[in-house]
Amino acid sequence: MNDLAISLDVHSTTPLYEQIYHYIKNEIQSGGLSCKERLPSSRKLSDYLQVSRTTVNMAYDQLVSEGYIESVPHRGYFVCDLEGLVHIKPSTALNIKEDLSYTSTFAYDFSPHGVDLNSFPHNAWRKLSKNLLMEENRYLFRLGDPQGEPELRATIAGYLHQARGVNASPERIVVGAGNDFLLLLLCSMFGGGMKIAMESPTYRKAYDLFHNLSNDVRIVEMDESGMRVDQLAATEAQFAYVMPSHQYPLGTVMPVKRRMQLLQWAAASAGTSASTDKAFSTGAAAFSGADREDRYIIEDDYDSEFRYRGKPIPALQGYDRNDRVIYIGTFSKSIAPSIRVSYMVLPERLMELYKSRARNISSTVSRVDQMLIAGFLNEGYYERHLNKMRAIYRSRHDALLTELKAFRKICRVSGENAGVHLLLTFTNEMTEEEAIRRAAAQGVRVYGLSSYFVGMDQAQTETYPAAQTVDEHEKRLRADGHYEQAADIGRLARQTVLLGYANLSEQEIKEACARLRKAWLI
């Protein structure tokens, strides 16, 4: 018993069993008790320490359950062989270095990701939230449908049909925490190895996400109508990721004709091309509902709500008669960026695949938030909010266009018909870097377009000639005699900045543009 010189403190707040546990554990860790050594029986130790046997047994149980000692029937307790046991290190200091990208040192920030939150209907939101958190709604804290709350899906279906011409039955809607998550879910359904055609420049997060998940992303050139369908067909891609309502970041609105061509591309089976590649790399057995040769359009309708000329163009999905469009939309842009609620409308033919491969992933949106959004739409708040925001954004849009007239000799404006940003392409010698630097020197932040170009770090030129760097693209256009197009591509890639106006008042826009005149017009 000399080995266990435990001195118990009966006045301590630490229970006696825990004191015994700690003492023996420390002895084992420090080598005071060695491997295979036998411990006193609980009866002996309880006699010795003058505590109950239950107390000793609790300590021993804990040590057994943590694997420090083991109980050998009819023989007693023995120290285990621990092979390099280590102690718990104390946690490092809890300092958080603020990421600099989240702070701004600019007087005026033309962020293309801005959203005006001064008009956010706080009172309505708080009222809806308060009502939902009433005791009788306790069920909202149980796990909900992985596809999303039926009420919210019905509401979204109605809204999408009314506002976007989307054919969406609630059964085919999947609610998720952001577009990025929904794209992850799609990858999970198709199991990686998807051949996805994208534009360049494009929504960079989608590109990175597809690329990181080992999908085969093929870059297809754009013209003034959007993705070139002739090139798309040549890529042998099975998926085309497009933003027909408002291409991000170029702001191109895809005309109906191009939409029809895209739908025709999708309606044809990939099997009709020369391709004999395996479309999905694994889990082929799961594809009972979906033909592995089927083509799909992923329509990202991320900010179709804001449009300044005429009324919104219906979504591509609404024109689809062949059940080939995967439609994705979000409330993050139209309500508030931190509202992480997006939705996806799947084609009927993909529902079986979704159920077998993705429906087991728990919903990423809390039920309270889902019902909040449903209430926000159903009680008319959303419509009022959208109308208000449209008017606000339109005034800012108009104010910015007015101010930009001063720059017409040195640049060209594009992408101004929808969304909450536009593009300035310099027609003088000003490069993107220079424009950003000079604006920054005046306290104004503008954003370069070049970072939205994708696919240039990949050796995709081997697999498909269209997936090339801007340099090569220009070179080829020039070789084919398309000098103006080549110059356009070059200017987009090197001489274009984005100006987002959602988060600047008309007065601020005026002031910021005055500074930009100093920056750029000297």
Which of positions 402-431 make contact with a second copy (CB under 8 A)?
A: 417
What is the nearest approach in angstroms of a second copy to the Cβ of residue 291? 19
Segment lying near a second copy (by CB under 8 A), choices 204-212, 406-414, 439-447, 468-476: 204-212
- Closest separation between CB of residue 64 and a second copy, Å? 8
- In three-state secondary structure terms, 325 is strand
User: Could you say whether residue 211 binds a second copy (CB under 8 A)?
Assistant: yes
Applying CB under 8 A, does 321 fall inside the site for a second copy? yes
Min separation Cβ 67 and a second copy, Å:
2
Interface pick for a second copy out of 1, 72, 107, 117 (rule CB under 8 A): 117
Size (the chain), residues:
522
For 193-339, where are the E strands, in sequence order?
195-198, 216-219, 222-223, 226-227, 239-242, 296-300, 325-330
Residues numbered 57 to 96 that lie near a second copy (CB under 8 A) are 58-59, 61-62, 64-68, 80-86, 88-96
Q: 364 to 393, contacts with a second copy by CB under 8 A?
A: 364-369
Count of residues touching a second copy (by CB under 8 A): 129
Per CB under 8 A, which of residues 153..172 are in contact with a second copy? 153-154, 157-158, 161, 165-171
What interhelical angle do 122-132 and 367-378 show, nearest 10? Answer: 130
* Best CA proximity match to 16, nearest among 64, 50, 39, 63: 50
Window of 201-209, 381-389, 430-438, 490-498 that interacts with a second copy by CB under 8 A: 201-209
32 binds a second copy (CB under 8 A): no
Binding mask 259-288 for a second copy (x = CB under 8 A): xxx-xx----------------xxx-x---
Separation between Cα atoms, residue 24 and residue 60, nearest integer Å:
9
- Segment contacting a second copy by CB under 8 A, of 2-10, 360-368, 391-399, 407-415: 360-368
Where in 456-495 is the site for a second copy (CB under 8 A)? 457
Among 38, 44, 53, 113, binds a second copy (CB under 8 A): 113
Decide: residue 98, CB within 10 A, 0-12 exposed, 13-18 middle, 19+ buried.
Answer: exposed
Helices (H), 66-171: 122-132, 150-164
Nearer to a second copy, 145 or 488 (CB): 145
Q: How far is CA 401 from the centre of its chain?
A: 31
Compute the distance between CA of residue 4 and CA of residue 26 in angstroms, rounded to an integer. 11
Q: Which of 50, 122, 428, 479 binds a second copy (CB under 8 A)?
A: 122
Q: Using the rule CB under 8 A, is 230 a contact of a second copy?
A: no
The residue from 40, 106, 181, 390 that contacts a second copy (CB under 8 A) is 181
> Counting contacts by CB under 8 A, is residue 112 touching a second copy?
no
Q: Are 300 and 315 in contact (CB under 8 A)?
A: no
| HSE, side-chain direction, 13 A CA sphere, residue 520 | 33
Separation of alpha carbons 216 and 219, rounded Å: 10
DSSP character string of 372-429: HHHHHHHTTHHHHHHHHHHHHHHHHHHHHHHHHGGGTTTEEEES-SBSSEEEEEESSS
